[in-house]
Structure 1
Amino acid sequence: MAQPDEPQPPVVPSCPLPSKICDVARSERPRSCCGMAMAGFRTAKYQLPEWHRRNAGVCYEAVTAGERAERGRAEAEQLVKHAAASAQRAQQRSKATLGQRLQDVHFWRMELQKEIMELDSETKLLAAQKLRLERALDATEVPYAVVVDNLECRERRQPPDLVIDEVERQLLKEADLIRDIRDLLKRTIIQAATQIRSNRIQKENCELDWSDKVETYHIDDKCVGYCTDSTNVQFHPSSVKFEENASTPKSWAQFSHDNISRAEQEKLASVQLRSLINSIIRDASEDLRMQRAATAEALDARCRELDEAKLRLEQRLGQILKDIGKEEANIANLKKAIKEKEAHLKVAHTRLYDRSFRPNVELCRDEPQFRLVSEVEEITVFLEALKRKLMESEQNLKNLEETRMKLEKEIAVKANSIFIDRQKCMSYRVQYPVDLEVASYKQ
């Protein structure tokens, strides 16, 4: 029995033992070799010591279970506190990490936005330069048409003046210069269009990256706002994994850096191309202006030269006309002199003829007869000389007339050349654009 100073075990109501204990109890009791008629009553009962041990065992198990439960409650309480603190710390760390991530996303988003705006502005500036190139190209059509028209007009010069002069060389040089300028402008327009296309492609890439950053920022910002009191949180077990196509922080930052770097390269190329376009238009305008001045100077010098030549021809024609008048008067005088000499010859011939009828001895070779014969010979010599001189004068008059016609033709040719160079070429060149660079800004 228990001592009085020891605590009494709690009273446990009697309950049937499990079948396992009953089986064990039965198996521990020795079987009697006699009294087989009472075997059934003996095996169904316990001994008193067994009953006490049984009660003590149950009480011990109860005490042990209580202690175990108390330790479990203490451990559970400690675990709850630790789990709560750990979860709070993890949530704070995750929130801080998300906040840092938000800063990174915001930084790259702003950098991309800045690059997009700068690239868009640069593309607009390059498009304006491309429009200047197109206007400059259109402005070269008039000078080229003027030069071609000048060359075609000068082809209508008459053969004596159809020469390869300085004006034609300058016009051909001007035509070649305009063709070269037009080819250069066309190539530069194509280059500008290609650069604009590259700018827009890179701008689109940056915009896609920026759009992803904006969406990511909104998602992470929403995630930062989540807490245990949020009403829109729920379990998503399948999300606790890394996607196969997920990027790393290094590759993520490198992707945006590469986009910005390529945008900077395109922007730099665009700026250089704009500077090149300014230089091309300025140099082309200056070259065209200088060549235009050289051609105009050659035309002006040629017109002065033609004027001087025409003036000299006109002066020579005036002198030839005077010579023709004098020669005609000389021919008239020669004819008059021949006619007078023929009259004298007729008189001498008549005298000789009449004297040939003198009778008999009167037909004498006297002094008058010799004088008349000498007179006939002398007049005949003069007549032949006068007739030769008349022929020479008539030939000279013919030559003078031919010279007059040549001079008149040359004067007409010079007048035609002057009309072509001064009235056709120089007057048409007034439509020439003053400055190609200025024309590139006109609407």
Structure 2
Amino acid sequence: MESVGSPLPATFAHPRSLPTRFLPAIHPMPSSYKNRFPYRPLPQSYSLPWMPSTYYKTAAIKPTLAAFSKSSQGITAGEKLPSVSTRTTVFSRYTPEDWYKSNVTTSRESETSQKNAERLRADTSRMIDDKYQQTKKTQVESTKNLGVRATDIAFWKSELCHELDEMIGETNALTGVKTRLERALAESEAPLQVAHECLLHREKRMGIDLVRDNVEEQLLTEVDVIRSCREKMQQFLDKAKAQIMSNRAAQHNLEKDLANKQVAHRIDDRCHHLMNSSHGISYYRGVEQVDATISVPESWAKFTNDNILRSQSERAACAKLRDNIENMLVVTASEMWRQFNAVNVAFTNRIAETADAKRKIQTHLAKTLQEIFQIERNIEAIQKAIRDQGPPLKVAQTRLDERTRRPNMELCRDTAQLR
């Protein structure tokens, strides 16, 4: 038997290793437990609040141990109050050196924790300042970008407004020219009908007067000229209608783009004037993860620029078409008027020729009638003269008949016989 408190030989035979912890947990040995006293839990109230005074008041109650009896030996090990062995108590003690080392280590760990805490507080404060400055800088840049964006939208909006006004004016001008063209096309129907009626009436001429003269040639030319002018007018009228449709399509794109620009400018201008103290700001969870954009600044500017370029192209084509229509109206009017004057000159000349021929014929007719009258009178005079020569003829024939009765040699062919 070893005396209580005497050192063990194994303790001095081997060097003592330093524990990883300076305050290791005391592990009770099961062999030192003696099941002699029953375990009785300390009376405590779990309904009391967790306060230090309550804790100490509850812990101050001394537990009572029941008297040892044979009936208590049947209680299990978990319900018995363990007893501490003297041998185990000796083995669980620490040396003063361990205690000092533990205190030094605890102090060092505390100082390290304090330094880490101070460093963490400094880093946290510096991080807060950095994040505040970064947030402020980002907000300033975002506000500046919103201002630039609003300025860009205002610029393109003004360009769209200017182009839209120009397009509306050009479309109205083309509509006016189209109205004039329709009126000119309707008015050209009457000269064509007149030319056709003139040709139909000239077919009623008779005899040698049914001639293909200069008037008929000019009338046929006038019909061809009017038909050609009407075809040109109809072609330009179709082009004007198609151009008006193209202008309205470009105008619709401009108006739609302008309406979108106005909404975007109102939204960006409101966002540009928002501040941290503004009303209506709130949290919108997950809004930064929603990407509803469908364009980039380059494609956005290109879209509006393409609309403006298309409108300008349509306006240029519209202006060129208006000039062509104006020139065509002037040319066709000049051609029809020139042909109209040519037909009138041909009619005037033909009428003059016909009137002169008629006058000459009438003169010759009068002379002919006069000659006929004179001839008729001459015939009557001749007939009277013939009638007047009847008695002398009778006398002469009677004399000749009587002289045929002369006898023999008296039938002489003398001068009286010859007369």
Scaled to the shorter chain, the TM-score interval is 0.7 to 0.9
2:214 matched to 1:214? no
Name the amino acid aligned to 1:26: I
Paired position in structure 2 for 1:139: 187
Matches of residues 165-176 of structure 1 in structure 2 within 5 Å? Answer: 165-176=213-224
2:147 & 2:260 partners in 1: Cα distance? 18
Residue 114 of structure 1 is aligned with which of 162, 166, 180?
Answer: 162
Deviation (angstroms), 1:66: 4.9
2:396 & 2:259 partners in 1: Cα distance? 134
Contact 1:352 1:369 in 2 (8 A): no
Matches of residues 9-158 of structure 1 in structure 2 within 5 Å? Answer: 24-27=24-27, 40-42=84-86, 47=93, 65-158=113-206
The alignment-based identity, stated in percent, is: 31
Unaligned runs of 5+ in 1: 1-20, 376-443
Paired position in structure 2 for 1:412: none
Contact 2:403 2:411 in 1 (8 A): no
Contact 2:33 2:85 in 1 (8 A): no
Q: Secondary structure of the equivalent of 2:201?
A: helix
Name the amino acid aligned to 1:150: C
2:360 & 2:135 partners in 1: Cα distance? 116
2:334 matched to 1:286? yes
Paired position in structure 1 for 2:345: 297
Which range is displaced more, 187-196 or 76-85?
76-85
Contact 2:33 2:83 in 1 (8 A): yes
1:335 & 1:32 partners in 2: Cα distance? 198
Unaligned runs of 5+ in 2: 1-20, 35-81
**How big is each residue's C-alpha offset from its partner over 1:180-200, in whole Å with a ceiling of 9 and x where there is no partner?**
111101101111111111111
2:252 matched to 1:204? yes
Contact 1:352 1:372 in 2 (8 A): no
Bigger Rg, structure 1 or 2: 2
**How big is each residue's C-alpha offset from its partner over 1:96-147, in whole Å with a ceiling of 9 and x where there is no partner?**
1111111111111111111111011111111111111111112212222222
1:105 & 1:55 partners in 2: Cα distance? 72
The normalised TM-score by structure 1 is 0.69
Paired position in structure 1 for 2:211: 163
Deviation (angstroms), 1:24: 4.9
Deviation (angstroms), 1:232: 2.0
Q: Secondary structure of the equivalent of 1:125?
A: helix
2:244 matched to 1:227? no
Residue 190 of structure 1 is aligned with which of 238, 249, 261?
Answer: 238
Contact 1:98 1:220 in 2 (8 A): yes
Name the amino acid aligned to 1:137: L
Distance 1:230 1:44, change over 3 A: farther
1:278 & 1:181 partners in 2: Cα distance? 13
Q: Secondary structure of the equivalent of 1:120?
A: helix
2:226 & 2:143 partners in 1: Cα distance? 69
Distance 1:365 1:233, change over 3 A: farther
Q: Secondary structure of the equivalent of 1:91?
A: helix
Paired position in structure 2 for 1:337: 385
Deviation (angstroms), 1:347: 5.4
Distance 1:333 1:236, change over 3 A: same
Deviation (angstroms), 1:203: 1.1
Q: Secondary structure of the equivalent of 1:273?
A: helix
Contact 1:206 1:259 in 2 (8 A): yes
Paired position in structure 2 for 1:308: 356
Deviation (angstroms), 1:51: 7.9
**How big is each residue's C-alpha offset from its partner over 1:403-426, in whole Å with a ceiling of 9 and x where there is no partner?**
xxxxxxxxxxxxxxxxxxxxxxxx
Contact 1:348 1:372 in 2 (8 A): no
- Greater helix percent: which structure? 1
Contact 1:120 1:203 in 2 (8 A): yes
Q: Secondary structure of the equivalent of 2:280?
A: coil
Contact 1:355 1:363 in 2 (8 A): no
Name the amino acid aligned to 1:195: Q
Contact 2:199 2:219 in 1 (8 A): yes
Q: Secondary structure of the equivalent of 1:235?
A: coil
Contact 1:133 1:185 in 2 (8 A): yes
Contact 2:218 2:343 in 1 (8 A): yes
Q: Secondary structure of the equivalent of 1:240?
A: helix
2:317 & 2:89 partners in 1: Cα distance? 107
**How big is each residue's C-alpha offset from its partner over 1:20-50, in whole Å with a ceiling of 9 and x where there is no partner?**
x9x95234x8x699x7759634558964758
2:376 & 2:410 partners in 1: Cα distance? 44
Distance 1:40 1:32, change over 3 A: same
Q: Secondary structure of the equivalent of 1:163?
A: coil
Residue 373 of structure 2 is aligned with which of 325, 331, 344?
Answer: 325
1:36 & 1:240 partners in 2: Cα distance? 66
